């Protein structure tokens, strides 16, 4: 039960003229956008980590396949697995770039929020 009237949507901002903290009601749309952008960054970090693990796993698998290759079909399977590995390696860089972009967008949102600048939500930050 909230007796003081505070809710999750409240934040504190330093009032420069009086040098004291002042409660400011945060715009729910801004908070929602920050939450969404945070989720995007978290998802991309997990995705990046999973691609790294997949490269390690596929590399070990290919080494094992090469050691056990006995005929042309086995060599073809090794070649195809190598192509899959290259595509996965490419996704590591792509995911890292998307993560940097998403992190920059989140930092911009947080900066504007901290400064008390409430701009209309623009999904192309």
For 48-66, how does the pLDDT look when each residue is reduced to its tens digit (9 = 90+)?
999 999 999 999 999 999 9
Lowest mean pLDDT of 14-18, 74-78, 114-118, name the range.
14-18
Q: Does residue 120 surpass a pLDDT of 70?
A: no
C-alpha span between 38 and 102 (Å, rounded): 9
Q: Which residues contact 106 (CB under 8 A, 6 or more apart)?
A: 34, 37, 38, 40, 41
Helix (H) or strand (E) holding 21: strand 20-25
Provide the pLDDT confidence category of residue 7 given band limits of 50, 70 and 90. Answer: very low
Domains and CATH numbers, the chain: 27-115 (1.20.58)
């Amino acid at each position: 039960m909230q007796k003081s009237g505070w809710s999750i949507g409240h934040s504190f901002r330093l009032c420069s003229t009086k040098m004291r903290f002042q409660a400011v009601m945060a715009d729910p749309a801004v908070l929602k956008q920050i939450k969404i952008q945070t989720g995007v960054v978290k998802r991309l970090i997990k995705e990046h980590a999973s691609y790294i693990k997949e490269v390690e796993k596929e590399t070990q698998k290919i080494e094992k396949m090469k050691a056990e290759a006995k005929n042309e079909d086995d060599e073809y399977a090794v070649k195809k697995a190598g192509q899959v590995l290259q595509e996965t390696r490419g996704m590591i860089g792509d995911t890292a770039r998307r993560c940097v972009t998403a992190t920059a967008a989140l930092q911009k949102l947080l900066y504007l929020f901290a400064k008390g600048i409430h701009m209309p939500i623009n999904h192309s930050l």
